Amino acid sequence: MSRLLNLLMDFFGRAWYLLVAALFIFGLLGLLAQVLRSAAALLTGSRRGWAVALSSFAGLIFIVLFGFLGVPALAAAVNVAAASPACGPLASIGQSAAQVLAAMAALRMLIAFVRTSAGLAAGGPFEISAALVECGEAVIGMLLAVAAGPLAAHFLGIC
Amino acid sequence: MFDPIMEKLTEIAQDAWLFLAGLLVMVALLGGLYFALQGAAGAAFGGARATSMAILGGIGIVILVLFAFLVIPQLGELLRGLQPAPPF
């Protein structure tokens, strides 16, 4: 069981590094794309295009910073919640499942930010709200999943 | 498993960076030419406002290109230092 958990965590760790690198790459490309867009707006005299490019530039920096600083903090908080004491015959399985769920929630949050930054780098609309909503979904779903085990155990009278 | 993906992603990103940088240089050169033409026309026909707008536009283009080629790599270095380890 422990070996399987280590294997899964190693896999998730590698995926985390890939996603962080993708967020970094798409963030930088997006910043350059926004500068290009603002240069084009300056040439064509489009004030709206200039404003959109500037706001997208600032938003992209926010997205990358949130992905690098906010998501690990949220994931660590979820990890702490997942490490709550369990009981009963399936306690170790529950703990392992909670760790795996926490890792998947962290990856899902990071994927949302990677998708947003990739969209911005490709010239798409600025949709940070979708990424933040997905973060909230991941955290709430994770907390519900962690709480389900102990609640069921208490309900069944196991502990 | 993720290493080939990472290599491919890096390769594509380098190509995309070069493409965007080249496009920015082209846009800036065309913009410089456009503003030079606008300024020359303004100066020839006595359009002080057109000339001053052309000068400001040219300066703006130069600032944008300098920003892209000097500030964004520095931002990249800053962000590279902030890359987090897996929190699980």
Q: What one-letter code names the amino acid at A152? A: A
Helices (H) and strands (E) in chain A, counts: 5, 0
Contact A31 B27 (CB under 8 A): no
Given a contact cutoff of 8 angstroms between Cβ atoms, the answer to whether B17 and A28 are in contact is yes
Q: Which residues of A touch B24 (CB under 8 A)?
A: 32, 35-36, 39
- Residue A128 or A83, more confident: A128
Model confidence at A107: pLDDT above 80: yes
Mean pLDDT of A106-132: 82
| CB-CB neighbours of B73 under 10 Å | 12
Mean pLDDT by 10 residues, chain B (88 residues): 87 93 94 93 88 92 92 91 85
User: Chains A and B: how many Cβ contacts under 8 Å?
Assistant: 109
Burial zone of A54 (CB within 10 Å; 0-12 exposed, 13-18 middle, 19+ buried): middle
- Residue A158 or A7, more confident: A7
Least confident range of A8-17, A144-153, B54-63: A144-153
- A57-90, pLDDT tens digit by residue? 998 999 899 889 988 888 888 777 666 555 666 6
Contact B1 A42 (CB under 8 A): no
pLDDT for A49 = 87
Mean pLDDT of A101-106: 85
| Collapsed DSSP state (helix, strand, coil) of residue A104 | helix
What angle is formed at CA A32 by the lines to CA A51 and CA A130, rounded to 5 degrees? 65
Of B60, B64, B76, the CB nearest to A28: B76
Buried/exposed code over A4-29 (b: 16+ C-beta within 10 A; e: otherwise) = ebeeebeebbbbbebbbbbbbbbbbb
Mean pLDDT of A133-137: 81
